[in-house]
Amino acid sequence: MDTLQHVFKGTFVHSTPSCPMEVLKEHIIGIGKMGRIMFLEDAQEQTRLAQKWGFDESDVKELSKSEFFMPGMVDTHIHAPQYSFIGSAMDKPLLEWLEHTTFPTEETYADLEVAENVYRAVVRRTLKNGTTTACYFATIHTDASIVLADIANHYGQRAFIGKVCMDSNKTYPKYLESCEESIEETERFVDIMEKKKYDRVKPVITPRFAISCSERLLNELGLLADKHQLHIQSHISESTAEIDEVLRIFPTYDSYTEVYDKNKLLTNKTVMAHGCYLTDEELNIFRSKGAAISHCPNSNISLYSGHLDVQNVLKHQVKLGLGTDAAGGYSVSMLDAIRKAIETSKIIFMEKQKENRENKKMYIDYKRETVQNGIKPGPIKKMENGTDYQVLSNQEAFRLATLGGCQALNIDHITGNFEVNKEFDALLINMAAEDSAFELFSDIAIEDAVQRFLYLGDDRNIKEVYVAGRCVVPFTNNA
Ligand code: GUN
Ligand code: FE
């Protein structure tokens, strides 16, 4: 039996498959030396638990009334090299943005010193902002991608690292590798990563997107992922211009989803970013393969790509997480992703409402016209009422940022909430931090306080960050 390393008492807020936000007040949690949750019970059980687990009751760390623990947040899609220009170059749509800003920047990561500087900064910044798991795109450069893996491991972040693959595109040949090179380098990358045997940093097969990959490369990468049972990530149906281009390049495929699916790239370890324009049929394919979508609302708006209808994805029972997609998105904070996900859902609500009004008006005009012409108006198909559309709740967005992300990455059996035996990836939130961006004026319900943190909080409220029981923020002096 594992021995304890931490015992905390206070409020715990997390999600379960049946409850988007469960608040456990006056609870006590024990974390073993291996990083797992040994118990989580009502604090009244403290004396009994102390005897059972052999801890001293005076060693229990008690949270203040303005503090709570929540699960660490999971960024299911982020481009580490793009952190160097985050918040700039936001005035072009996706394909132009890639060509003018992204590819030229990523090219500089052949230089390991450039990589080391930016990668250290992005790992530290995301950890400080509560991202305990990140699914990263690096660049085509294998050695620089290994640098990112080493840094994530050093700082204790749980991470998936993708050496990017791209071998084909007439518009930007100078940024590409050959197909052979891409396959060989991916094999080398996977090989080095496997030898490193990092506990919580793993390789992920990363074809950039269908536009920049030959059919042969997609096919070989699908086989490689299958051979090593690896995770897979890419982009799908992000913008209409992108989809048109995919269908032009791959005329024998029926849909964007089919391009990946027929090349074995949709598995239960796949996370595809965006998916704004996926049809119901494509979502059904995702569901049947157990593949997930990473919803990146900041990027979808910043690159004016589109909106993902989260409710429709959930209705199709497709696994869903949130992503920052930095630097297509201008923030690496998952709190921002939560807010933008809710706001996107409200925008969709308003669009549906507008559509509904237009339909109603059309019907009224039609009725008036037919009556004027002495014709009895026929039945009109029932129109969807815009108000039926459920806006994403803050509780559900919280679940997507934590447990949902773990489900998307197929690690929800390892972490994602405070279930006993899972690894303790957690944030200690202090809503009364000295320099907090918001105040709590009175004794409000914890549910309301959590909501205020989700909307107004930032890294100043994230007092400590734990990954598998290890306190990784604040950083130690030598890190
Ligand atoms: N599609 C292909 N590459 C990228 C990228 O770097 N960012 C985004 N947002 N979409 C992409
Ligand atoms: Fe992306």
Average pLDDT of adjacent 10-residue blocks, the chain of 479 residues: 93 98 98 98 98 97 97 99 98 97 98 98 98 99 98 98 96 95 98 98 98 98 98 99 98 98 98 98 98 99 98 98 98 98 97 89 83 76 62 98 99 98 98 95 91 98 98 86
What are the residue ranges of helices labelled H in 332-442? 334-372, 394-399, 405-408
Residues forming beta bridges with residue 395, ordered by sequence position: none
Nearest atom in ligand 1 to the alpha carbon of residue 137 is 6
233 Cβ inside 6 Å of ligand 1: no
What are the residue ranges of helices labelled H in 400-476? 405-408, 446-456
What's the confidence (pLDDT) of residue 378?
67
What's the confidence (pLDDT) of residue 375?
82
Nearest atom in ligand 1 to the alpha carbon of residue 328 is 9
* Backbone torsion region of residue 243, taken as left when φ is above 0, otherwise alpha when ψ lies between -120 and 50, otherwise beta: alpha
What's the confidence (pLDDT) of residue 303?
98
What's the confidence (pLDDT) of residue 380?
56
Tally helices (H) and strands (E) across the chain.
16, 17
How far, CA to CA in Å, does 54 sit from each of 129, 139, 332, 338?
34, 49, 41, 40
- Percentages of the chain per state (helix, strand, coil), in multiples of 5: 45, 20, 35
Cα 131 from chain centre: 10
What's the confidence (pLDDT) of residue 115?
98
* C-alpha of residue 235 to centroid of ligand 1, in Å: 7
State which of 235, 236, 246, 271 you would mutate to test the pocket of ligand 1, scoring each by most atoms of that ligand within 8 A of its C-beta: 235
Residue whose tokens read 């007092």: 463
Tell me if 146 sits within 8 A of 352, measured CB to CB.
Answer: no
Q: Which ligand is nearest to the CA of 81?
A: 1
What's the confidence (pLDDT) of residue 379?
62
Residue whose tokens read 């992703």: 337
Looking at 217-328, which runs of residues are DSSP E strands?
A: 231-236, 270-274, 292-295, 319-322
What's the confidence (pLDDT) of residue 466?
98
297 Cβ inside 6 Å of ligand 1: no
Q: Which has the closest alpha carbon to 325: 51, 69, 126, 39?
A: 126
For the entire predicted model, the pTM comes to 0.96
Residues forming beta bridges with residue 30, ordered by sequence position: 7, 39
* C-alpha of residue 25 to centroid of ligand 1, in Å: 42
Nearest CA, atom 3, ligand 1: 208
CA angle 126, 132, 136 (to 5 degrees): 65
CA angle 324, 295, 167 (to 5 degrees): 80
Nearest CA, atom 9, ligand 1: 328
Homologous superfamily assigned to 4-71+416-473: Urease, subunit C, domain 1 (2.30.40.10)
Number of neighbours of residue 191 by Cβ within 10 angstroms: 13
The three-class DSSP label of residue 90 is: coil
How far, CA to CA in Å, does 225 sit from each of 46, 207, 228, 267, 288?
47, 11, 5, 9, 18
382, amino acid identity? K
Distance of alpha carbon 279 from alpha carbon 474, whole angstroms: 44
Domain boundaries, the chain: 4-71+416-473, 73-341, 352-386
Q: Which has the closest alpha carbon to 322: 240, 458, 416, 420?
A: 416
* C-alpha of residue 236 to centroid of ligand 2, in Å: 9
State which of 98, 139, 167, 168 you would mutate to test the pocket of ligand 1, scoring each by most atoms of that ligand within 8 A of its C-beta: 98
Strands 19-32 and 4-16: antiparallel
269, amino acid identity? K
Cα four-point dihedral sign 25, 28, 32, 38: negative
Instruction: Look up residue 400 and give its DSSP letter.
Output: I
Nearest CA, atom 7, ligand 1: 328
Nearest atom in ligand 1 to the alpha carbon of residue 242 is 1
Residue whose tokens read 């481009």: 79
Nearest CA, atom 11, ligand 1: 235
What's the confidence (pLDDT) of residue 479?
65
Nearest atom in ligand 1 to the alpha carbon of residue 303 is 9
By residue count, the chain amounts to: 479
State which of 101, 107, 325, 340 you would mutate to test the pocket of ligand 1, scoring each by most atoms of that ligand within 8 A of its C-beta: 325
98 Cβ inside 6 Å of ligand 1: yes
* C-alpha of residue 283 to centroid of ligand 1, in Å: 21
102 Cβ inside 6 Å of ligand 1: yes
What's the confidence (pLDDT) of residue 381?
53
* Backbone torsion region of residue 274, taken as left when φ is above 0, otherwise alpha when ψ lies between -120 and 50, otherwise beta: left
Burial class (CB in 10 A: 0-12, 13-18, 19+), 195: exposed
* Backbone torsion region of residue 229, taken as left when φ is above 0, otherwise alpha when ψ lies between -120 and 50, otherwise beta: left
The three-class DSSP label of residue 46 is: helix
CA angle 313, 245, 350 (to 5 degrees): 40
How far, CA to CA in Å, does 460 sit from each of 128, 129, 133, 433?
9, 9, 19, 7
Distance of alpha carbon 196 from alpha carbon 151, whole angstroms: 13
The CATH code belonging to domain 73-341 is 3.20.20.140
What's the confidence (pLDDT) of residue 221?
98
- Report residue 394 as tokens: 């803050």
